[in-house]
Structure 1
Amino acid sequence: MNFAVLVFPGSNCDIDCYKAVEDTVGQPVDYVWHTETDLSKYDCIIIPGGFSYGDYLRCGAIAQFAPVMKALREAAEQGKYILGICNGFQILLESGLLPGAMLRNESLKFRCHAAMLSVVNTDTPFTKEYKQDELINIPIAHGEGNYYCDEAALAELKANNQIVFRYEAGNNPNGSVDDIAGICSKGGNVLGMMPHPERAVSALLGSEDGKRMFTSILSTWREKHGAAAIG
């Protein structure tokens, strides 16, 4: 299985994502620059966190026009797995690959700490190895992670089971609507989330709860392609 980690000017979690793939699933992974126009080689494309293009205008607003985004949209239509983390989630929203928008945190402060998430939907390529309603420890680091959508869009997200993660009840760090921490596309192959699973793949980092996101992706791909199980 081939993984790609997109790199924009200002990305700063690209190395973390690359190493997470290496350490959790040991599959081929490449850095892919934002000027690339062909992603056909890759089965899973990760859009890492950071400050793409300096977060000018809005987070992700300029990145949506990068040359690689046309290929990313094509990959999404083909059913390939796309994971947008933090700024990557913001880019997916700005590009229309996921619904909604990001606002400043309610506190108007940058929040960087561990966060407890509830796994709402285990029927995705990214969460199949988690348990329903399981609480997992995944860190956050963002200033604009306050997910917003109107009531009609929220009702649609719920109806289609597109809410994948919520912050633990009573511990919403940014004010996001319905405590949303991550959502997926209707087809389930595109996931955007503000917390950083790539920073939770080792006990040395304080949590290993992010490992199963990467092993879930590989297991799903192998099942789809009839390949052997991990290990």
Structure 2
Amino acid sequence: MTRVAVLRYPGTWSERDFAHALSLVDGIESEILWHEDADLRGFDAAIVPGGFSYGDYLRAGAIAKLSPATRELRRFAEDGGAVLGSCNGFQILCEAGLLPGALIRNRDLRYRCDWVHVRVENDRTPFTTALAGAVLKLPIGNGEGCWVADPDTFARVEASGQVVFRYADARGAATEDANPNGSLGNVAGVANEAGNVVGLMPHPERCAEGLLGGTDGYRMLANLTSVRHGTAPALYR
């Protein structure tokens, strides 16, 4: 049984959606942890959900990175734990330095709520092992979803295979029209160098049932059934 902690910060709102989506997957049990009390010992994976942590004051994730939960996440990741951040969770992980780059205002300066397609670029993460070459249909809902990086960081991320998800059309072509927010290189999600920490702007927890328009989020989360704490760096580098 894979044990997954879903962190809850002030202002996040997707933790229950993640807990529900995970409950649909045989072999996974989850628990929602309040950020001040987060202790990830005994868990195999941790999820940082979407929302508006601390109201997104200063900028998205800038205050949440100082939370006790984020300090515990850093320890957990360094110890080999699998970590996933979605939307605001992705922003928090970037602000905390657990992932490269940063998330800024969307290209059109508007909040985007839509369905997008992402192409799986890297199947050597705990969340994509069974998704090599897949094109997933996932929902987004963000105002600061444009991933950027300085030229050296971007070149390193591309060369090392740290791009995990790339915005594409339904056929898998990474076109400008398929990029909803202006992200550099059509990047929708990245990993750290070890491969055990992954962030993406789309919401897999919102499409884990056919009734909600798709099950590609379920396909992604189901990869966690094979994850055990401490195995990620050896498996995914």
Cα offset, 1:123, TM superposition: 1.6
The CA deviation at 1:38 is 2.2
The 5 A counterparts of 1:188-199 are: 188-199=195-206
1:11 alignment counterpart: 12
The answer on whether the counterparts of 1:24 and 1:201 sit within 8 Å (CA) in structure 2 is: no
The AA in structure 2 aligned to 1:185 is N
CA distance in 1 between counterparts of 2:38 and 2:215 reads 34
Aligned equivalents of 2:228 and 2:69: distance in 1?
23
Query: Aligned residue for 1:100?
Result: 101
- RMSD (Å) for aligned C-alpha atoms: 1.5
- SS of the residue corresponding to residue 141 of structure 1 reads strand
- Cα distance in 1 for partners of 2:135, 2:68 equals 38
1:17 aligned counterpart, secondary structure: helix
The 8 Å contact of residues 190 and 199 in structure 2, kept in 1 or not, is answered as yes
Identity of counterpart residues, as a percentage? Answer: 45
**Which structure 2 segments of 5+ residues have no match?**
169-173, 233-237
**2:164 alignment partner in structure 1:** 164
Q: 1:59 Cα deviation (Å)?
A: 0.3
Matches of 1:100 and 1:36, distance apart in 2: 28
Q: Deviations over 1:61-82 (max 9, x none)?
A: 0000011111110100011110
- Cα separation, partners in 2 of 1:16 and 1:26, compared to 1, 3 Å: farther
1:144 aligns with 2:151: no
Matched, 1:25 2:26: yes
Q: Is structure 2 residue 206 aligned with structure 1 residue 205?
A: no
Report the 3-state secondary structure (helix = DSSP H, G, I; strand = E; otherwise coil) of the residue aligned with 2:189. Answer: strand
Q: Is the 8 A contact 2:84 2:197 kept in 1?
A: yes
Structure 2 counterpart of 1:39 = 40
Q: Which runs of 4+ in 1 moved over 6 A?
A: none
| Amino acid paired to 1:205 | L
C-alpha separation between the residues in 2 aligned to 1:172 and 1:163?
15
1:170-181 map, 5 Å: 170=175, 171-181=178-188
Offset of residue 24 of structure 1: 2.1
For 1:39-188, list aligned pairs within 5 A.
Answer: 39-132=40-133, 134-168=134-168, 169-170=174-175, 171-188=178-195
Counterpart code for 2:196? N
TM-score, length basis structure 2: 0.91
- Which whole-Å deviations, capped at 9, do the CAs of 1:46-91 have from their partners, x for residues lacking one? 0000000000000000000011111110100011110000000000
> Once the 2 structures are TM-superposed, how far is the Cα of residue 25 of structure 1 from its aligned partner?
3.5
Cα deviation 1:75-130 (Å, max 9, x = unaligned): 00011110000000000000000011111000111000110111111121110111
Q: Is the 8 A contact 1:25 1:214 kept in 2?
A: no
Whichever residue aligns with residue 131 of structure 1, its letter is A
For 1:45 and 1:157, the matched residues in 2 are separated by: 23
